[in-house]
Amino acid sequence: MPYFQDQVRWLEIAKECEPQLYHNNIRPQSLVRSIGDPRSFQGWRMLPKLPPASIYQRRLKRGDQLILDFGEHIVGYLHFTLNLIGEAMGGPLRIKFIFGEVPAEVCEPFDPFIGTLSRAWLQDETITLDTLPQSICLSRRFAFRYLKIEIMAASFDYQIQFSSIHCDSVTSASIPIEKLCNKRIKPEFQNLDIVGLRTLRNCMQTGLEDGPKRDRRLWIGDSPLLARTNYLTFKNYTVVKRGLYLFAGLAHENGQLPACVYERPVFSKGNEFILGHAALYTSSLLDYAEASGDWETARDLWPIALKQMDFVMEYINNDYIFQDIGKWWIFVDWRPELDIQTPMQGIIIFSLKRLSELAQAIDKEAEAAFARELINKMTIAARERMLSPSHNNLFVSGSKRQISWASQVWMILSGVISPQEGAILFQKLIKRKDAVKPATPFIYHYAVEAMLTCGLKELAIELINLYWGGMINAGASTFWEIYDPTDPFLSPYANYLLNSYCHAWSCTPSYFFRKWNSVFEV
């Protein structure tokens, strides 16, 4: 039984909002050679070897392999034509395609496999052909920059030769990124902008995907970041609306918003529930209405935004402090040692404030009246119990009184302290070697946002250059799911090859360059 009587209608709206896909043929830019180099990201780099024409001159036999570089990260379908060199095929041809977002994926063996997610996320595909010539399109969509082709088996009496290879790339972003680049920003940020826009473009499919390699679905926590960047760049409001309705229409039987949703083969949901991310839905809804002017959607989906606060309340103890009672998944960052109490206190205060703002905008103040008192009490409690004089007046979290970036950032963004106080806090934080640092662009995004809110322009610029710029220096043409400058192999999934190297929650430099344009323009 659906919890909300409108769920079926909501799914109908999600269906109507399916965006058109735009296609573009992308050809390989060069034939490259991989070089093992401990100074390169994850130990590998590519040397441009030969111009693209040489791909079509090579005659290949059993055991041969090629690595093609498409020049930048793309998402789409591989098409190729293979010809026979020889009289006839004495035996079938077996050929393997390995797609890599980063060099290591085409240089390191996938097997024997270790990892906590499916081996099938690693992008390799083997086909067997009985006759040649043939023109083929691989049916699966791939996300890649590098393509390794291995001739696994063929009989001695023939060779093969490619006469064409291209990727039919797809996106629902209708504007070419070259047209969107913010020409007014300083030259040092131009490339960051292009990579941010490309990341978002490649994640914009018939829905917004968190990563086109993995997970190829919309996660509720990622969606506000890509939506905000989209409003200021591609301006595809319909694809965001589709996501908002999809989450609402697929609500669990107790009214909880699912943590992620799938579009195919039919609309369906994952069975997870992430408390803080569900609470932030209200903020996404308000962002959307403000950006698009579509307040009707905000009114329509108000009941589900409000309902999420029931689950939040269970986690607030009598002292108005967030207490993890262990019922649901709490995600703040991919850092296992991170204590989530203080960041969650901030996320909830922030969400309640956004709920109040939304309520005010759509005349639902009476229904959100409870939020006002809660915001005040949780704010006072945070200042009294989490701001620690014995820790140089930084916020601490949990029984071990941990100092982390996530805690300070969410205390600032939730307004528990003023921007002036936040500025002092940050100056102290950056000097603390013992503070738990973020692992993902997800939390680095909020760190930059908090710095800009506190007027710390230089610090924000430095962080963007160091973190997102660090990925570009390591070879990124799209931004990654996870990046730790001190550990290139860091992975939440016990295998860095499973990481997504085009991940939508990392596209936000392009948002900063427009939202806070005066900081970045010449």
Min dist CB 100 to ligand RAM, Å, is 19
C-alpha 446/C-alpha 511 separation (Å) is 12
- The CA–CA distances, whole Å, from 197 to 442, 472, 479, 504, 512 equal 16, 13, 10, 10, 12
Nearer to ligand RAM, 320 or 444 (CB): 444
Taking CB under 6 A as the binding criterion, the range among 4-12, 216-224, 302-310, 464-472 that sits at the site for ligand RAM is 216-224
Taking CB under 6 A as the binding criterion, the range among 96-104, 130-138, 218-226, 311-319 that sits at the site for ligand RAM is 218-226
DSSP state of 402: B
The answer to whether 192 and 199 have CB atoms below 8 angstroms apart is: no
Nearer to ligand RAM, 339 or 481 (CB): 481
Strands 134-137 and 93-100: unpaired
6, 193, 209, 210: which one contacts ligand RAM (CB under 6 A)?
A: 210
Q: Which residue has the tokens 């610029």?
A: 461
Amino acid at 37: D
209, 215, 300, 339: which one contacts ligand RAM (CB under 6 A)?
A: 215
DSSP 456-474: -HHHHHHHHHHHHHHHHHT
Nearer to ligand RAM, 193 or 210 (CB): 210
Min dist CB 201 to ligand RAM, Å, is 17
| Cα 514 to the center of its chain, rounded Å | 19
In a 3-state reduction of DSSP, which class is residue 232?
helix
Residue 221 as a binder of ligand RAM (CB under 6 A): the answer is yes
Min dist CB 50 to ligand RAM, Å, is 37
Nearer to ligand RAM, 287 or 333 (CB): 333
Min dist CB 217 to ligand RAM, Å, is 9
C-alpha 502/C-alpha 479 separation (Å) is 5
70, 219, 302, 511: which one contacts ligand RAM (CB under 6 A)?
A: 219
Number of residues that bind ligand RAM (CB under 6 A): 8
DSSP 86-101: SS--SS-EEEEEEEES
DSSP 277-316: HHHTHHHHHHHHHHHH--HHHHHHHHHHHHHHHHHHHTTB
6, 222, 300, 333: which one contacts ligand RAM (CB under 6 A)?
A: 222
Residues 330-359 that bind ligand RAM (CB under 6 A): 331
Nearer to ligand RAM, 193 or 222 (CB): 222
Min dist CB 203 to ligand RAM, Å, is 10
Nearer to ligand RAM, 231 or 505 (CB): 505
Residue 481 as a binder of ligand RAM (CB under 6 A): the answer is yes
Min dist CB 10 to ligand RAM, Å, is 22
Angle of helix 341-361 relative to helix 405-413, nearest 10 degrees, comes to 20
Nearer to ligand RAM, 281 or 505 (CB): 505
Nearer to ligand RAM, 221 or 343 (CB): 221
Amino acid at 59: R
C-alpha 304/C-alpha 128 separation (Å) is 50
Neighbours of 384 (CB within 10 A): 11
Residue 196 as a binder of ligand RAM (CB under 6 A): the answer is no
Min dist CB 394 to ligand RAM, Å, is 26
3-state secondary structure labels for all residues of 194-226: HHHHHHHHHHECCCECCCCCCCCCEECCCHHHH
Nearer to ligand RAM, 3 or 331 (CB): 331
Taking CB under 6 A as the binding criterion, the range among 217-225, 342-350, 448-456, 483-491 that sits at the site for ligand RAM is 217-225
C-alpha 138/C-alpha 65 separation (Å) is 19
Residues 298-337 that bind ligand RAM (CB under 6 A): 331
- Give residues in contact with ligand RAM (CB under 6 A): 210, 215, 219, 221-222, 331, 481, 505
